[in-house]
Amino acid sequence: MKPRLARLPLLTFLLLALAGGAPAQQGAQNGEWRYYGGDAGNTKYAPLDQINAANVKDLAIAWRWKTENFGPRADYNWEVTPLMVGGVLYFTAGTRRDVVAVDAATGETLWMYRLDEGERGDRAVRAQNRGLAYWSDGKGDSRVILITPGFQLVVLNAKNGHPIPGFGRDGIVDLTEGLDRDVVKPGQIGSSSPAIVIRDVIVTGAALLAGTAPASKENVPGYIRGFDVRTGKKLWTFRTVPKAGEPGVETWENDSWKYTGNAGAWAPLAGDEELGYVYIPVEAPTGDFYGGHRLGDNLFADCLVCLDAKTGNKVWHYQVIHHDIWDYEPSSPPLLMDVTVDGKKIKAVALPMKNAFTYVFDRVTGKPVWPIVETPVLQSKVPGERTSPTQPFPTKPKPFDRQGITKDDLIDFTPELRAEAEKILEQYAYGPLFLPPMTREELGDKIGQLFLPHHTGGANWPGASLDPETGYFYVSSLTNTDGLILSQPAPNRSDMDYVGGGGGARGARGAGGRGPAAPRGGAAPGGGVISFGGGEGAPVGRGSIGPQGLPLIKGPWGRITAIDMNTGDHAWMVHNGDAPDAVKNNPALKGIDLSKVGRPERTSILVTKTLLFTSDGAGLFNSGPGGGGKKFRALDKKTGATIFEMELPANETGSPMTYMMNDRQYIVVATGARGVPAELIALALP
């Protein structure tokens, strides 16, 4: 004991020196994983090196943990990332979003918490769950923080899973209260991502039903709230749709602020404990593709908002999409990074987006790190609609995926396929980024409008990861397109003047108009041909509208782009794996090299001191058709070269995390697949 104590003053001195000088270290610290994104800035980085390029080939399953009997129905698409604190993993599991604590070394269940919410849970707007927040006072009071499917904030004692009696009412705060609506019905609002705790304040976002074809122009607003982590007392509300007298209300014409909703923040939030700020990626307002009921820029929808965590006061905001009618909302966790640009140290925040731009700001001031230029865009002709004349275009970094469609973007494995693709393309309206949605009348004999990135493509909730040592920023994206058409809904179904729909894209097939009927398992009502022409057991999903049931746009359909954030330049781009099986089996592609087309999926990226870990992806909800696969792989961080790959028991569905336990490095990843209930898989060296 004595020698150890003797070292303490020196250690303390060193720690103090560090705290006073260099900025707080980025990445998960002390072999733990205390935040959804590794640290509060979502770097998804851990400075661990036991698993390295030389030994990664020995990676094997250490333990498995199964969700099948959690919740009334099995969960297949588990987007969770566990937290690891003090040798215990904490996560949400199953369709009821139970909270579970598990031994990090063995996978043994230590405790679980289950809340039966009745109808409000049953009707949850979002079944996905991405995990929990954690807080400790450092003196023995440690808590895990859940947002339930039915939108209640629950705070549990991390030691035993019991609700904290002094928090809210018996550990629970009802998040549907205080939303400036007389009634909030079950199934209107919830959350899929965890809260974040900064300076002892729990900050919550919100998720609502997808807005493709809303039942009403009226909805509940997804306000951002701050709660005292000790008592549950509501400290502040940040109105993402401001009310009369508040700044920004002038961007909602004709009093549309009174009824417009959504504008939640469903992607994971970010925070900076040192600055005391939280960073909120606010989603689109009600009506993904028609804004005639909410004319104006619609602040603070589609903004990155920086709030003071203690007061909720807005420090700065930047609207990345004005008057959004593309569903190009912020959907990735803001990523905080300390970079050096032109010799100047900058505390930055980067927001990768569905539209394939990365918007980078000084996170203290909100000023763009590289100029973002308001650029004229095409204008809508839809009755009642009024497009913003310009949209903000970042000058750097370059987009990480295709933007807008020309013939050069079409599939070109063979001249025949290319010719067929050109004929299909001419059946649609298409054009540059921000081509506005169109009505049937405007489209004339076109069967729909194509947009690229599609609103389910580009970057999404997995967002990006960062290597803080090099400033390399790694973002995964999905390249896909599909038809869209605005139509007037039946009055008993929606009071919107127009709602979005598939635009007949799903029925359009082949150069001759109608293509092959899908084989068994490959057909869906209105789905036409799906899953790259379908196939036995193919997942039901969005159709591929290209020739022979292939994608219309050429690959890679899934990719990882590395950007050096000290310069803003792209360092490398690699395809995410090889082709999905259904593509490989397509007779039109016999003999063609498909090893570099990538899986059209939202894949997550974990970065350690030694390697970058990624996967084929889930191939489930919101993914490219048939896009996922079981492969889990390690890449070289500098080049993107695949160093190692292995097959998991099922597809990776959540962002992987890593930690040290008893001198052993583990990587834990949530898996599942269509019909394969979710499991956690822990990997380690033997």
Partner 1 sequence: MKRVASRWLMAAGGLACLVPVLFLGLARLGAEGSAPAALASAPAADAPPATKLAVTRSVWEGVYSKEQLGRGQKAYNSLCARCHGDNLLGGEEATPLVGKEFLKNWTAKSVGALVEYTRKEMPSDGPGKLSRQQCADVTAFLLSANSFPAGSADLATDLEVTNQILINDKK
Residues lying near partner 1 in the complex (CB under 8 A): 73-77, 122-127, 187, 209-210, 212-215, 420, 455-456, 489-490, 493-494, 499, 501-502, 506-507, 509-512, 514-528, 539-542, 548, 587-588, 620-622, 674-675, 677
- CB 681, min distance to partner 1, A: 19
The Cα 577–Cα 48 span in angstroms is 25
- CB 665, min distance to partner 1, A: 32
- CB 188, min distance to partner 1, A: 9
The Cα 234–Cα 232 span in angstroms is 6
The Cα 673–Cα 649 span in angstroms is 10
* C-alpha dihedral, 235 to 168 to 274 to 10, nearest 10°: 140
Cα angle: 520, vertex 523, 529; to 5 degrees? 115
Task: Tell me whether residue 312 or residue 580 sits nearer to partner 1 (CB atom).
Answer: 580
- CB 527, min distance to partner 1, A: 6
The pair of structure tokens assigned to 535 is: 């196939």
| Residue 462: C-alpha distances to residues 112, 129, 233, 420 (Å) | 26, 13, 31, 34
Task: Tell me whether residue 20 or residue 491 sits nearer to partner 1 (CB atom).
Answer: 491
By C-alpha distance, which of 241, 329, 333 is closest to 288? 329
The answer to whether the beta carbons of residues 24 and 273 sit under 8 Å apart is: yes
Task: Tell me whether residue 186 or residue 368 sits nearer to partner 1 (CB atom).
Answer: 186
Task: Tell me whether residue 133 or residue 207 sits nearer to partner 1 (CB atom).
Answer: 207
The answer to whether the beta carbons of residues 371 and 501 sit under 8 Å apart is: no
By C-alpha distance, which of 134, 154, 152 is closest to 144? 134
- CB 516, min distance to partner 1, A: 4
Q: Which amino acid is at 672?
A: G
Task: Tell me whether residue 366 or residue 489 sits nearer to partner 1 (CB atom).
Answer: 489
Task: Tell me whether residue 229 or residue 411 sits nearer to partner 1 (CB atom).
Answer: 411
Largest CA distance in the chain: 85
- CB 213, min distance to partner 1, A: 4
- CB 435, min distance to partner 1, A: 18
DSSP state of 489: P
The Cα 285–Cα 221 span in angstroms is 8
Task: Tell me whether residue 341 or residue 484 sits nearer to partner 1 (CB atom).
Answer: 484
Task: Tell me whether residue 87 or residue 510 sits nearer to partner 1 (CB atom).
Answer: 510
- CB 674, min distance to partner 1, A: 6
Secondary structure (H, E, C), 242-296: CCCCCCCHHHCHHHHHHCCCECCECCCCEEECCCCEEEEECCCECCCCCCCCCCC
- CB 409, min distance to partner 1, A: 22
- CB 56, min distance to partner 1, A: 31
- CB 365, min distance to partner 1, A: 35
The phi, psi pair for 325, rounded to 5°, reads -130, 30
The pair of structure tokens assigned to 242 is: 């401001």
Task: Tell me whether residue 296 or residue 527 sits nearer to partner 1 (CB atom).
Answer: 527
Count the neighbouring beta carbons within 10 Å of the beta carbon of residue 164: 22
Q: Which residues contact 573 (CB under 8 A, 6 or more apart)?
A: 400, 556, 559, 560, 561, 562, 640
Task: Tell me whether residue 133 or residue 213 sits nearer to partner 1 (CB atom).
Answer: 213
- CB 211, min distance to partner 1, A: 9
The Cα 653–Cα 627 span in angstroms is 12
The Cα 308–Cα 344 span in angstroms is 25
The pair of structure tokens assigned to 583 is: 């593509």
The answer to whether the beta carbons of residues 605 and 650 sit under 8 Å apart is: no
- C-alpha atoms less than 13 angstroms from C-alpha of 602 in its C-beta half-sphere: 25
Task: Tell me whether residue 507 or residue 558 sits nearer to partner 1 (CB atom).
Answer: 507
Task: Tell me whether residue 9 or residue 491 sits nearer to partner 1 (CB atom).
Answer: 491
